[in-house]
Structure 1
Amino acid sequence: MVLQTWLLYLIAVIGLAFAPGPNGLLALTHGVLYGRSKAIWTIIGGVLGFVVVIALSMFGIGAIIQTSPSALNILKWVGGAYLIWLGIQLWRTPPVNLIISEKAIAEKKRSALFMQGATAAVSNPKVLLFFGAFLPQFIDPQISLLTQFFVMALTFSVVEFAVEFMLASVSIYIGPWLEKRGQRFNQICGGLFVIIGIALPLTQ
């Protein structure tokens, strides 16, 4: 990939990373609930999930889904159901309490946070379709596809990690406020997940 093409790709990826989405919202929420040191596992899971999506898109799965309405519908319903379930869990989460939070931090497994981040990334078929349409604009047929995949995936991973880590870090400073109004915050975040989950399978 030539430098000019990579710079254009970098600018596009930065814009994509800052666009509101389930994984950014999840990083923010987990940063508040479990702290930055544990939220980082959510972020890592999400980034690796996106790498899988990029790989699937670049190697043809995105094109298959675009030509198969039944496969797309199945993925939409599965992804939507997961996001709804995740939203309900967030809605029911009690307000942050500094004493309770310490216990929650100790008990919450890193593997569970990792899987939530990864599943949120790979369960959204619109992301797969987006990458299926987005990445080919930057692919050079004269260069090894595998090499380009590593460059694109690494670039996206670094940018996405930085943005989500920033969200998780900022969330720490609003902890005291959330002790008083945390239930409303959790309901708003959970409600957004539910809305996304409902809209996902209904999107044509």
Structure 2
Amino acid sequence: MSLDVWLVYVATVLALMSTPGPSQLLMLANSGAHRFARSLSTAAGDLSANILQMLAAGFGLAAIIAASGTALAAIKWAGVAYLIWLGVRMIRKAGPEQAGPAHARSNPSLRKLYMQGFLTSAANPKAVVFFAALFPQFITAHQAFWPQFLILSVTYVVMDGLFLSAYGASASWIANRFRGSAKIWIERAGGSFMIVAAILLGVKSVSQQ
């Protein structure tokens, strides 16, 4: 793959990531509520799902998944319901910090934060079709497929990870500087971000039908 082609690909991915989607909103919510270091588990879950989706596209499974309309709809709407439940739960639990040990206030486990990121990304199984449509635009037929595929995949994962980290670090920085009632509203905003993420997934699902 030539440098020119790779740079065009990077510019294309930057344009695609310029508008925050469900995964970015979830990262904002978890970073604001649970701090940036813990929210990295959410980013890891999201990127893990992306890698599986890329592999599915690379192995030619996009057509099979695209043909399974019923399964797609079920997974999609399950993800929407899950995000709404998380958002409502976060809003309801938002409140002033209780006196006592720092660990008195429960925090979700890193595994739970990871699964939130994974399920949010996996709830959009048509991402496989997206990768199957995007990658061929930058793959040269007379060169080996898998090395080019690997470059495109790694580039996407790194860029997505940087975007998620930027969103998360910003949300955590803001949350660290507010206490009391302001912190309560930040946590409520985090829950609202999750609900907005669910709405975005639902709108995409309807528009793609």
Q: TM-score range by the shorter chain?
A: 0.7 to 0.9
Instruction: Provide the TM-score with structure 2 as the length reference.
Output: 0.84
Equivalence for 2:15: 15
The aligned counterpart of 1:46 is 46
Alignment map for 1:59-78 (pairs within 5 Å): 59-66=59-66, 68=67, 71-78=68-75
Q: Indicate conservation of the 8 Å contact 1:73/1:201, yes or no.
A: no
| Cα separation, 1, equivalents of 2:108 and 2:115 | 12
User: For the structure 1 residues 183 and 28, does the alpha-carbon distance in structure 2 shift closer, same or farther, using more than 3 Å as the test?
Assistant: closer
Tell me the equivalent position of 2:2: 2
Who is 1:185 aligned against?
Answer: 189
Output one character per residue of 1:50-106: Cα deviation in whole Å (capped at 9) or x when no partner.
11111211221113334x2xx133113212212222222222212264558x54887
Q: Number of matched residues?
A: 200
Contact 2:58 2:132 in 1 (8 A): yes
Matches within 5 A, 1:52-201: 52-66=52-66, 68=67, 71-93=68-90, 94-95=93-94, 97-98=96-97, 102-103=102-103, 107-175=107-175, 176=178, 178-182=182-186, 184-201=188-205
What is the alpha-carbon root mean square deviation over aligned residues?
Answer: 2.3
* Secondary structure at the counterpart of residue 143 of structure 1: coil
The structure with the largest helix share of the pair is 1
Percent identity between the two aligned chains: 23
Cα distance in 2 between the residues matched to 1:30 and 1:8: 32
Mapped partners of 1:202, 1:57: distance in 2: 22
Gaps of 5+ in 2: none
Q: What's the TM-score, normalizing by structure 1? A: 0.86
Residues 140-184 of structure 1 show CA distances to partners (whole Å, capped at 9, x for unaligned) of 222222212211111011111111001000001332275242364
Q: Shift of residue 42 of structure 1?
A: 0.7
Structure 1 segments unaligned to the other structure (5+ residues): none
Question: Which residue identity does 1:188 align to in structure 2?
Answer: S
